[in-house]
Amino acid sequence: MAKILLIEDEQALRQALQDALEYHGYSVITSADGVSGLNLAENENPDLVILDVMLPGLDGFEVCTRLRASGFRSPVLILTARSEEVDRVVGLELGADDYIVKPFSTRELMARVKAHLRRSSNLASSSPSRCSFGDVVVDFPGSTVTRGGKAIPLTSTELTILRLLVERKDEVVSRDQILNVVWGYESLPESRAVDTHIVNLRHKLEPNPGKPKYIITIHGLGYKFIG
Instruction: Give contact residues for Ca ion (rule: CB under 5 A).
Output: 9, 52, 54
* Cβ nearer to Ca ion, comparing 36 with 143: 36
Please list, in sequence order, all residues whose beta carbon lies within 8 angstroms of the beta carbon of residue 137, skipping any fewer than 6 positions away: 130, 131, 145, 146, 147
Instruction: Tell me how far, at minimum, the Cβ of 167 lies from Ca ion, in Å.
Output: 39
Q: Helix, strand, or coil here: 100?
A: strand
Q: Give the CA angle between residues 52, 180, 80 to the nearest 5°.
A: 15
Using the minimum distance from each CB to Ca ion, give the nearer residue, 54 or 124: 54
Residue 172 bridge partners (DSSP): 224
Which CB atom, from 9 or from 195, has the smaller least distance to Ca ion? 9
Q: Mapping DSSP to helix (H, G, I), strand (E, B) and coil, where does residue 2 land? A: coil
Closest CB 205 distance from Ca ion, rounded Å: 34
Which residues are bridge partners to 211 per DSSP? Answer: none
- Residue number with CB closer to Ca ion (52 or 206): 52
How far CA 17 is from CA of 12, 110, 171, in Å, comes to 9, 10, 41
Provide the residue type at 193 as one letter. Answer: A
Shortest separation between residue 108's beta carbon and Ca ion, angstroms: 18
Q: How far is the CB of 41 from Ca ion (least distance, A)?
A: 17
Q: 213 — phi, psi (to 5°)?
A: -105, -30
Residues 223 and 199 sit within 8 Å (Cβ to Cβ): no
Identity of the residue, 100 or 162, whose beta carbon is nearer to Ca ion in the bound complex = 100
Of 177, 17, 11, 5, nearest in space to 107 by CA: 17
Tell me the closest approach of the beta carbon of residue 12 to Ca ion, in angstroms.
11
Report which residue's Cβ sits closest to Ca ion. Answer: 54
- Smaller CB separation from Ca ion, 1 or 12: 12
Q: How far apart are CA 189 and CA 203, in angstroms?
A: 22
* H or E element at residue 202: helix 192-205
CB of 10 to Ca ion, least distance (A): 5
